[in-house]
Structure 1
């Protein structure tokens, strides 16, 4: 299975964490009613695919850091170099939520 990505707008990271805690990690887009507005974007990960789209629109070369992001969820400490300690660790099972930062102006 590929990466199943949802993109949504939220007022802040705290609202996202609260939504995920209330839905046991379920997507805010698939709650009844949806918590935030957004779109399902299967296989459009923020680093590679979205980054390539942004690079094409900007007519620049793609770089891995073109779309900057900060982890919002999982809220537990990130696993060490050997990965998650158990299969139940949220870093092993997901979901993972990242806040995408505004794009920097093109030089």
Structure 2
């Protein structure tokens, strides 16, 4: 269950980020579409690689974090003002601190998630 919550959560963030960029495209349209396409390719490749592996959920969280974070951060680089981009970066750091970094959640996940056994 935690595996799907992780994947669906990142999917919503990445698709929402790309949608926001595509809808708000006013200048550098070709570059914005290119960045969104690159982000979706990275996201799709990460899903293909990690869904085919039968590893525990804690390893999935750690292994997919960097590609998903890049796919989430890349599209708004040109579109958003600096303070909104900084806020997006802050959200990524919060996700890392809460779910990916070694600590309480990773320990709990290793003990309680059946896929992590």
TM-score category of the 2 structures, normalised to the smaller one: under 0.3
User: Which structure carries more relative contact order (alpha carbon 8 Å, separation 6+)?
Assistant: 2
Q: TM-score, normalised by structure 1?
A: 0.26
Q: TM-score, normalised by structure 2?
A: 0.25
Relative to total residues, which structure has the larger strand share, 1 or 2? 1
Relative to total residues, which structure has the larger helix share, 1 or 2? 2
